[in-house]
Chain A
Amino acid sequence: ASEAEGLVRIALKKRPIDQNNRVATRLSGEEGQHLGGANSLGS
């Protein structure tokens, strides 16, 4: 049916936010600050 409609469907997987991920986010945030973000929108 999708092909007939000219649609291409890609299934997405979901991963819940977990504690480990939050810790890693914090760590990577600190890492990002050290990187300086030359390309960052904020800068």
Chain B
Amino acid sequence: EDEGDIVALQNYMNAQYFGEIGVGTPPQKFTVIFDTGSSNLWVPSAKCYFSIACYFHSRYKAGQSSTYKKNGKPAAIQYGTGSIAGYFSEDSVTVGDLVVKDQEFIEATKEPGVTFMVAKFDGILGLGFQEISVGKAVPVWYKMIEQGLISDPVFSFWFNRHAGEGEGGEIVFGGMDPKHYIGEHTYVPVTQKGYWQFDMGDVLVGGKSTGFCAGGCAAIADSGTSLLAGPTAIITEINEKIGAAGVVSQECKTVVSQYGQQILDLLLAETQPKKICSQVGLCTFDGTRGVSAGIRSVVDDEAEKSNGLHSDPMCNACEMAVVWMQNQLSQNKTQDVILNYINQLCDRLPSPMGESSVDCGSLASMPEIEFTIGGKKFALKPEEYILKVGEGPAAQCISGFTAMDIPPPRGPLWILGDVFMGPYHTVFDYGKLRVGFAKAA
């Protein structure tokens, strides 16, 4: 924490793919998530006494390993949905046929709450960069390279989407298996070392631009997340097209009814879109992006609270409305149609990091959603981005998209989890610092 480590993208509860590793000599087996969104290895410790979660999982017994080395440095990782704490130890780690020697890892002695109690995995093996490793521990992947255990500093993921439970796919260290993908990979450079982060372009729904990422968004390939998380403005448009239930936003409705026409007029007068919300008085403009007018002064803030017009949600709603309107205008829609459409979008706002239900019978009429990566379009079909829970008449369908807003300069940001990495075989090239995607076989 003192070192300002940033680790918290994952929704581990929903993580779907696990593999087995061994820790110690002889190897003690653990089921772990191979997670490209973090960089530490941790497993529950035999010395975890007061967290129920530990008793539901395999626990590491240092005393039973001939290669164990004491370290003892305390460590804690706080995730978005839970936390672990414990101390560092060193031991051999068996990954497939490889034995990684003197690997630093966290023996978790505390796993409070329900997060890891109901988890089907014991621990997490991070495949991110050392820059985001808690305690600056050297990741397992780095050690594999250092110890010459693999020839090529590349690993790749293939998720078998058609498999039943128990046959989830393969992670290949040292390269890729040509049987796992079709055609060539499209590679994009890693833009911020730490996560496997790269620049992504426009997101299209049913072949039409959503506008929000047309000027570029960041994206992180994260095998530790199940769903696809992205900016609310885009998820709302997707929700509207796939009929996903949303939360009615009164702020959004107010912006449309009271400021809609004014915003449209300003757009038609070719006012710089980023300045519009400040011009109508809903945000201030700091030169790079809209900021809530509520930060101007405490007095202003109190006044704004009383009239309810200048709060953050109003500014956010205005900024989304501008993007939506701009996009509709580029499609030559009439003003009435635009205002009506934006009003409809106000009923479809997703709850942050929440899930949205959709009608299982409507999959055929749902659009393809395309992501622009490296100038190429990567499409997801409804059957790929809608997750079915249960079988037969009891089946429920949930959208694979969830909303998450990361402000600039880091955002807007997409997290491409298993929903994306299923249809697209993903290569993580550490040597050339790039990520590659190809249609999965």
Contacts and interface: CB of A to CB of B under 8 A. Distances in A.
Interface of A: 3, 5-22, 24-25, 27-29, 31-32, 35, 37-42
A24 B5 CA distance: 26
A14 B163 contact: yes
A10 B18 contact: no
A11 to B, nearest CB: 6
A3 B366 CA distance: 44
B404 interface: yes
Interface in B359-418: 387, 389-390, 396, 398, 404-406, 410, 413
7 contacts: A10-B96, A12-B17, A17-B389, A35-B78, A37-B8, A38-B78, A39-B78
Interface string B71-113: 0000001111111000000000001111000000000000001
B95 A10 contact: yes
Contacts of A3: 97
A13 B79 contact: no
B82 A28 contact: yes
Contacts of A13: 17-19, 31, 165-168
Given A14-B166, A14-B169, A32-B80, A8 B118 contact: no
Interface of B: 1, 5-9, 11, 13-14, 16-21, 31, 34, 77-83, 95-98, 113-115, 118, 120, 149-152, 159-160, 163-175, 177, 226, 353, 355, 387, 389-390, 396, 398, 404-406, 410, 413
Given A18-B390, A29-B80, A41-B9, 12 more contacts: A8-B98, A8-B150, A10-B171, A11-B169, A12-B171, A14-B169, A16-B16, A25-B11, A25-B81, A40-B78, A41-B6, A42-B80
Contact of B83 (A9, A16, A22, A35): A35
Contacts of B16: 14-17
- Residue of B1, B149, B166 contacting most chain A CB atoms (<10 Å): B166
A7 B177 contact: yes
**Mostly helix, strand, loop or mixed at chain B's interface?**
loop
B415 to A, nearest CB: 9
A10 B34 contact: yes
Nearest to A36: B78
A20 B404 CA distance: 23
B98 A11 contact: no
A2 to B, nearest CB: 8
Nearest to B96: A8
A29 B249 CA distance: 22
A42 B404 contact: yes
A43 B165 CA distance: 36
Contacts of B31: 13
A6 to B, nearest CB: 4
A38 B76 CA distance: 12
Contacts of B120: 15
A41 B289 CA distance: 19
A39 B410 CA distance: 15
Contacts of B160: 14
Contacts of B159: 12, 14
B3 to A, nearest CB: 10
Nearest to A42: B406
B14 A11 contact: no
A4 B138 CA distance: 28
B384 to A, nearest CB: 14
